[in-house]
Chain A
């Protein structure tokens, strides 16, 4: 049975990420799974944000993400809805650029992450990160014409070393059409849940409107 996307959300029916644009939604196992990709320069803290969000752990040492790491978490949104986030941690190194677009397939959500102590990582959100995602979305065989995005400035605990202000983050979020900007600290667990939940919530808000 196929539902329209809007009807599905309105009826509170759980869906999988098998949704295909223009083809309705397939309902399987009554479980809604949203695929989320994290994008940003190496060392900005993508893995740390996921580790804090999923496992409530923070590691001081840095381990390079090779290609892709996937984890998932069931979350409850403010409106009481539950959703499983399938979180795809994509390696930020340039050498993974050639294969990165493969991981965008089927994504509903994208979180752009930069390091507030390195201004360069904010500039790189526009190009390559946002540019790559937009290029993927505009491809004819893309599964989605629009992915809900959010911009996250990580490492706000390093206040003395901070080189990017919140208003710069907010301005960039607006420029790239993201749902908003959140300054967070994976180390101190500040605004981490908020960032993931706000992004997931924006998916349903978009459907409603």
Chain B
């Protein structure tokens, strides 16, 4: 029987291993490169074939919530660690009047937590209403070791965090502050540490050329892409004995690796939901 595996494209290996391990009461070992990578594909298909249709449906529904790779996240700092013991798939009523003054509906919301890996938890608020055709979810990634929380960029994300999620998860008043991405972080990320061998492989660099600097309309950004753009530019400059001055012509406003992409006024985008990615993201976001 051919089983559709396409929805597992972005499914974190860790989450899949945990769920299947629990269902089959055994530990599942998969390489942390994605379920559909060459190393895991056969094993993944064998596992899926052994599952009931109910469980396949459950995975498919979960895959929808775990579609996170095209999401821009905003970074917030928490004053105290969250206590996650309260989140156990417990329905709760949220009064949306507070958040949407023109909407008098009381909406049932289900709070849940999914361990993406040891360094990151996904907190989800799923809304549903019987009286209105409303189904939506709000997602937050909590990074416990640096006590930061990432908010999916959506209109109600911040009030939901401040007025619903934090009071629910914390017995003490939480202080939460936005940590906008700034050019200093981008530069630090691209060229720190000083030892080039330990630098991240930067595959994308976006340089802002403002009107005040360039003096002309129409030019806003210079983007360079490649396997390792910093090393590429440095080597090119040395070999050809030239200076690519565009690197200094404006602030660096966006930087990307194979794991993630960080950009001023947009936030953070995570390309892979694997343990190594979150470890590196923790390190980077801990820099400010």
Interface size for A (C-beta < 8 A) is 21
Q: Is B211 in contact with A163, judged by CB distance below 8 angstroms?
A: no
Q: Is A63 in contact with B253, judged by CB distance below 8 angstroms?
A: no
Interface flags for B15-50 (1: CB within 8 Å of A; 0: not) read: 000000000000000000000000000000000000
**Cβ-closest chain A residue relative to B215:** A62
Q: Does A159 contact B (CB under 8 A)?
A: yes
A97 vs B248: C-alpha distance when bound (angstroms): 20
Q: Is B181 in contact with A160, judged by CB distance below 8 angstroms?
A: yes
Binds A, one of B80-88, B141-149, B160-168, B182-190: B182-190
Q: If A118-B248, A118-B250 touch, does A163 touch B212 (CB 8 Å cutoff)? A: no
Residues of A within 8 A of B211 (CB): 60-62
**Cβ-closest chain A residue relative to B249:** A118
Q: If A120-B248, A163-B187, A163-B251 touch, does A62 touch B181 (CB 8 Å cutoff)? A: no
Q: Is A115 in contact with B215, judged by CB distance below 8 angstroms?
A: no
Interface centre among B208, B214, B251, B265 (most CB of A within 10 A): B251
Q: Does A74 contact B (CB under 8 A)?
A: no
Q: Is B214 in contact with A62, judged by CB distance below 8 angstroms?
A: yes
Q: Is A162 in contact with B215, judged by CB distance below 8 angstroms?
A: no
Residues of B within 8 A of A118 (CB): 213, 248-251
Q: Is A161 in contact with B253, judged by CB distance below 8 angstroms?
A: yes
Q: Does A117 contact B (CB under 8 A)?
A: yes
Q: Is B264 in contact with A161, judged by CB distance below 8 angstroms?
A: yes
Q: How far is the CB of A8 from chain B (nearest CB, A)?
A: 41
Q: If A118-B248, A118-B249, A160-B265 touch, does A45 touch B183 (CB 8 Å cutoff)? A: no
Q: If A118-B249, A118-B251 touch, does A162 touch B213 (CB 8 Å cutoff)? A: no
Residues of A within 8 A of B187 (CB): 119, 163
Residues of B within 8 A of A43 (CB): 212-215
Q: Is B212 in contact with A119, judged by CB distance below 8 angstroms?
A: no
Q: Does A108 contact B (CB under 8 A)?
A: no
Give the number of A-B contacts (CB < 8 Å). 57
B222-263 contacts to A, CB under 8 A, are 248-253
Residues of A within 8 A of B249 (CB): 118
Q: Does A35 contact B (CB under 8 A)?
A: no
Interface residue SS majority, chain A: loop
Q: Is B183 in contact with A161, judged by CB distance below 8 angstroms?
A: yes
Residues of A within 8 A of B213 (CB): 43, 62, 115, 118
Residues of B within 8 A of A160 (CB): 180-183, 264-265
Q: Does A144 contact B (CB under 8 A)?
A: no
Q: Is A64 in contact with B215, judged by CB distance below 8 angstroms?
A: yes
Residues of A within 8 A of B183 (CB): 117, 160-163
A42-94 contacts to B, CB under 8 A, are 43, 45, 48, 60-64
Q: How far is the CB of A78 from chain B (nearest CB, A)?
A: 31
A162 vs B212: C-alpha distance when bound (angstroms): 15
B95-144 contacts to A, CB under 8 A, are none
Residues of A within 8 A of B214 (CB): 43, 62
Interface flags for B170-185 (1: CB within 8 Å of A; 0: not) read: 0000000000111110
Contact among A63, A117, A162, A165 for B250, CB-based, below 8 A: A117
Q: Does A155 contact B (CB under 8 A)?
A: yes
Q: If A60-B212, A118-B213 touch, does A162 touch B248 (CB 8 Å cutoff)? A: no
**Cβ-closest chain A residue relative to B188:** A163
Interface flags for A154-190 (1: CB within 8 Å of B; 0: not) read: 0100111111010000000000000000000000000
Q: How far is the CB of B54 from chain A (nearest CB, A)?
A: 48
A94 vs B249: C-alpha distance when bound (angstroms): 15
A14 vs B76: C-alpha distance when bound (angstroms): 58
Q: How far is the CB of A187 from chain B (nearest CB, A)?
A: 8
Q: How far is the CB of B124 from chain A (nearest CB, A)?
A: 30
A93-134 contacts to B, CB under 8 A, are 115, 117-120
A61 vs B211: C-alpha distance when bound (angstroms): 6
Chain B interfacial positions (CB closer than 8 Å to A): 180-184, 187, 208, 210-215, 248-253, 264-265
Given contact pairs A118-B251, A119-B248, A159-B182, a sample of 8 additional A-B residue pairs in the complex whose CB atoms are under 8 Å apart: A45-B212, A117-B250, A158-B210, A158-B251, A160-B265, A162-B182, A162-B251, A163-B252
Chain A interfacial positions (CB closer than 8 Å to B): 43, 45, 48, 60-64, 115, 117-120, 155, 158-163, 165
10 of the cross-chain contacts (CB-CB < 8 Å) are A118-B213, A118-B250, A119-B248, A160-B182, A160-B264, A160-B265, A161-B182, A161-B183, A161-B264, A162-B182
Closest CB pairs A-B (n = 7): A120-B248, A62-B215, A161-B251, A43-B213, A117-B251, A161-B183, A163-B183
